[in-house]
């Protein structure tokens, strides 16, 4: 097996040099899954709620929900609005194992981090072991790994998924909160730790809210959420 890998690795590099790759969105030649033109046209969040990263008009600092009921986490960073090409791209990464797409989107996450960002632990949102076995990888962990390397901070699997829950795509916010409430437990020391909690998409925020509440109870000093994408208000479940 090792000998065959040594043989095919340079051969694969040679093929990549003589055969063009193509952008997954426009089919133009590209060295990456997305060409520069398509990357420049992705729906970047220009202005958002300082607490939950919900896209907002430029003159607003907090969304109405965070004003009324602030979440358990302190702030959130999200790069893309979950619309246009983003749902398809994340689906390709998450369910079709297109890891190169995930890597390219994650680079945007790394670039979106504040220059003074400083955390003690980078914690990915966990998958239940059965879902992990089925999918083969945890997309939140794939996002968190290059972030942890960039920040030179440890990736810590401090939260465990204790119960296999049904998919949440078609659930309301209330149903998502009830679904997530008993699904997680903290399994590592987070006392007085500044935490960056990483996931792929924030829709209603129910999962991130539930995990952040548990981390608070375990003594976490500060929690920032980082996601690839945030669902805008007009398509967010109420």
Tokens of 234: 């007009």
Cβ(162)–Cβ(210) below 8 Å: no
**Cα distance between residue 227 and residue 212, in whole Å:** 14
Mean pLDDT of 33-54: 95
pLDDT in the model for residue 166: 62
Cβ(17)–Cβ(88) below 8 Å: no
Cβ(216)–Cβ(199) below 8 Å: no
pLDDT in the model for residue 214: 94
Q: Which spans in the chain are helix H? A: 2-18, 36-40, 64-68, 86-95, 99-112, 129-135, 139-151, 173-181, 206-217
Indicate whether 83 pLDDT > 90.
yes
- Helix 99-112 to helix 86-95 angle (10° resolution) is 120
**Highest averaged pLDDT of the listed ranges 102-106, 164-168, 173-177:** 102-106
pLDDT band at 234, cuts 50/70/90? low
pLDDT in the model for residue 181: 65
Indicate whether 31 pLDDT > 70.
yes
Average pLDDT, the chain: 87
Give percent of the chain above pLDDT 90.
71
Question: Which region among 10-24, 39-53, 89-103, 159-173 has the lowest average model confidence (pLDDT)?
Answer: 10-24
pLDDT in the model for residue 177: 63
Q: Report which of 235, 220, 224 is spatially closest to residue 53, judged by C-alpha positions.
A: 224
Mean pLDDT of 112-124: 94
pLDDT in the model for residue 134: 87
Per-residue pLDDT tens over the stretch 173-229 = 666 666 666 689 999 999 999 999 999 999 989 899 999 999 999 999 999 999 999
Per-residue pLDDT tens over the stretch 124-144 = 999 999 988 888 999 999 999
Q: pTM of the full predicted structure?
A: 0.85
Query: Can you tell me which residue has the tokens 């204790």?
Result: 162
Cβ(103)–Cβ(93) below 8 Å: no
Residue 196 β-bridge partners: 122, 224
pLDDT in the model for residue 180: 61
Indicate whether 118 pLDDT > 70.
yes
């Amino acid at each position: 097996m090792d000998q065959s890998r040594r043989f095919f690795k340079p051969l694969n590099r040679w093929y990549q040099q003589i055969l063009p790759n193509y952008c997954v969105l426009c089919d133009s030649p590209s060295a990456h899954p997305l060409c520069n033109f398509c990357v420049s046209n992705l729906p970047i969040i220009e202005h958002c709620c300082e607490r939950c990263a919900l896209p907002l008009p430029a003159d607003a600092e907090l969304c109405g929900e965070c004003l009324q009921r602030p979440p358990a986490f302190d702030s959130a960073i999200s790069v893309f609005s979950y619309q246009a090409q983003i749902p398809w791209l994340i689906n390709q990464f998450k369910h079709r194992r297109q890891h190169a797409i995930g890597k390219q989107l994650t680079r945007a996450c790394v670039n979106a981090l504040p220059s003074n960002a400083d955390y003690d632990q980078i914690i990915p949102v966990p998958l239940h072991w059965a879902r992990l076995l089925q999918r083969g990888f945890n997309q939140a962990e794939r996002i968190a790994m290059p972030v942890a390397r960039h920040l030179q901070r440890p990736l810590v699997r401090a939260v465990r998924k204790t119960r296999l829950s049904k998919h949440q795509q078609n659930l309301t916010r209330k149903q998502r909160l009830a679904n997530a409430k008993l699904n997680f437990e903290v399994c590592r020391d987070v006392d007085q730790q500044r935490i960056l909690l990483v996931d792929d998409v924030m829709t209603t925020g129910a999962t991130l809210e539930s995990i952040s509440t548990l981390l608070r109870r375990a003594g976490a000093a500060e929690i920032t959420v980082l996601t690839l994408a945030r669902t805008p208000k007009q398509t967010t479940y109420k």
